Amino acid sequence: MPEDRWVAVTSPRVLVALVLMIAFVTALAPTPEAGAGAPGNLRVASQTSWVRSDGVFQIDLDVEGPAGGSVELTVHPKVDNRSEFESSITDGPRDLPLLVVSSALDGQSQVSFSVPLTVDPEPGRLTLVDPGVYPVEVSLLDIDGTRISRLTTHIVLVPDTLAGEEPLAVALTVPLRTDVALQSDGVVAVTPADQGSIDSLTSALRAVPDVPATLSVSPETVSSLDNARLNALRDALNGRLLLPRPFVDLDITAWLDAGLDSEYLNALATGLTTTIDLLGIQPATNIWLAGSTLTPNSLATLGGLGYEQIVFEDDQLEALDPSAFPLTLTQQFLVEDANGQRYPSAAIDEALATRFAVGADPTLAAHQILAEMSVLFFDQPGRPRGVIAAPPDDWSANAGLLRIVLDGLDGNPILVPVTVDMWFDTVGSAFEGGQNADLGFILDREIESTPAFDLSAFSRRYSTAAASLFSFSRLVGPDDLALAEMNDLLLIAGTTGLSATQSDQYLRAITAEVNESIAAIRLIDPPRRITFAARDGAVPVVIENGIGRDVSLLVSMSSEKLEFPEGDSVVVDIPPGVHEISLDVSARTSGDSVLDLTLSSPDRGITLDSTRVRIRSTALSGLGLIIAGIALLFLLVWWIRTRRSRRPNRRLIVADADPARNVPTPQKV
């Protein structure tokens, strides 16, 4: 490597001369924008995350630059606040340099700088006395010294000891959410990009297993993972905090406003069950990561479920008075729900969230995140404070960035990694009196949520599909595999971000699946006429179950002339195939009767089939028997009387013991 050229700027005269020279050069030839002129690029390959006063700052750079060009490293005075930190990145440092060192490019693709530090001035070492965050500007220059590209990273100089100072509690909260994997046709499709994001997240977390972190994982994503990725995620979560989520992303306020309270609670319960079943991990029972539309009313609902510590996005809350809170708020505060209940709360640091948006240099982004956290520590090092750092929910995880942040937190003397529950246990509360107040009323902040989307039209379509699915569940039983998939489709239909067309595709898929299943369950037509010789009889009913699994069916009977000794409906369990059951009926009178049969789900929500049977009873009824008995008695009396009336009157005949005397005596003519 070519010999580095060092310029340590310490003399006041040298500083004045340098200022005049910079002003003169700037007036004659303004510095081109990054990327202008000859082609070239700079990226950070690695660097020191933090260093003590007698340590060495090391940075390795990947360089694409012109032959004969050079790389220049400039160290600037420390920043005093976050505004100066941001300016050092976006505009470049403006203060006089403390050190300038350069290295010529002789065709190599990597350039390294080692900057030894010291408190007391020594030749060849950079003198940094005060702990803090020092901007380091790296410039790629062409052969004429014209800047082609630049970047700004930082030296984080930590105190040798923390005398009465509290390290900043850092709750790194990482989301894992992919596009919905379960499609409306039942196919599970995880895109290569989502697979890469999952693999990046798990590999980074597994590489640094002892660093606390908090994860917010979509249960629908978990349910779509293959065994290898599921095992990797389970391993990455070991010893870390998992936050609760519904099965898919749902806008709680929109669902409550649409009257879908129980449906939202079902989605939450499904999410918790899925997470526990697949990962074997119980999510936090008292911490909630709020969405952008959370209102005091929906907060009250969450409070009723036991969620008592709330993490907000900063723009969901009223702005703080800058005169009372000139620095970033790094303490707890209270938020009140619609019932007057107050909840310990925290806000995700908005500026840090934007740093996770990785460009071409994830290593640089990671070190800027660590440096900005360090700026927060140096704001008020004597107070128990903390920050919640979380990428946006749609963040595509970058293993390199996440690994560097975790490594940079591990053993860091001024930044201590914690989970969110530990954060609430560690970090103190802010007071109404302002940033420096030590006593008084705890700071209250009002919710200023984004208006929720109107789900009234969706709720009607959703409720219809849900009712059909509920009836189907009574038919096939709660453990049916097809039912489980249809329940997932129902929940996915309400996912935040889906269009109305996409939601309807999921709801129509449920209706089609239910209709296809119930079409395979029917009554085989019984005989058109059944004759009973007695008053009581049994009607044979043949049922075909063609859906390939056991079903529970309700058979209902109705008739004007028939009675049903066992009730007018009966629930029967029918295995696959064709099966016959018998229904007991009783005829009130002899003659013809009509029996209507209906086959439905046990809750009567789905009608499967119906038919009509004519029944003839030849048995006499009780009244008929009485009438017949009376008629028979009348006939018997009539017969007896008639027979008596035809007998001769014995009193008109002369009795003679000699029969011969009864023969008439011939008369003489």
Instruction: Report which residue type is found at 402.
Output: L
pLDDT at position 316 is 92
Q: CB of 243 within 8 A of CB of 284?
A: yes
Q: CB of 422 within 8 A of CB of 287?
A: no
Name residue 99's beta-bridge partners.
Answer: 8, 75
Cα separation of 305 and 282, whole Å? 15
User: Per-residue pLDDT averaged across 274-300, rounded?
Assistant: 95
pLDDT at position 26 is 35
Cα separation of 166 and 381, whole Å? 6
HEC secondary structure over 357-381: CCCCCHHHHHHHHHHHHHHHHHHCC
pLDDT in tens, 540-562: 999 999 999 999 999 999 999 89
pLDDT over 50 at 660, yes or no = no
> What six digits make up the tokens of 625?
């028997």
- pLDDT bin (cut points 50, 70, 90) of residue 292 is confident
pLDDT over 80 at 216, yes or no = yes
Cα separation of 176 and 366, whole Å? 18
Instruction: Report which residue type is found at 126.
Output: L
pLDDT at position 23 is 34
User: Per-residue pLDDT averaged across 469-488, rounded?
Assistant: 92
Distances (CA, A) of 241 to 212, 237, 407: 8, 7, 18
- pLDDT bin (cut points 50, 70, 90) of residue 450 is confident
User: Per-residue pLDDT averaged across 392-410, rounded?
Assistant: 92
User: Per-residue pLDDT averaged across 568-592, rounded?
Assistant: 92
pLDDT in tens, 98-125: 999 999 998 778 999 999 999 888 888 8
Give the pairing of strands 333-336 and 342-348: antiparallel
Q: Which residues of 209-230 are buried (b: 16+ CB within 10 A; e: fewer)?
A: eebbbbbbbbbbbbbbbeeebb
pLDDT at position 577 is 95
Q: Which residues contact 546 (CB under 8 A, 6 or more apart)?
A: 520, 521, 522, 576
Cα separation of 637 and 109, whole Å? 133
Q: What is the DSSP string of 563-608?
A: E-TT-SEEEEEE-SEEEEEEEEEEESSSEEEEEEEEEE-TTSSSEE
- pLDDT bin (cut points 50, 70, 90) of residue 18 is very low
Mean pLDDT score of the chain: 87
pLDDT at position 287 is 97
- pLDDT bin (cut points 50, 70, 90) of residue 37 is very low
pLDDT in tens, 137-171: 999 999 999 999 999 999 999 999 988 889 999 99
Q: What is the DSSP letter of 224?
A: T
Cα separation of 296 and 522, whole Å? 51
Stretch (H or E) spanning 153: strand 147-157
3-state secondary structure of 612: strand
pTM exceeding the 0.85 threshold for the entire prediction: no
Higher pLDDT, residue 106 or 76: 76
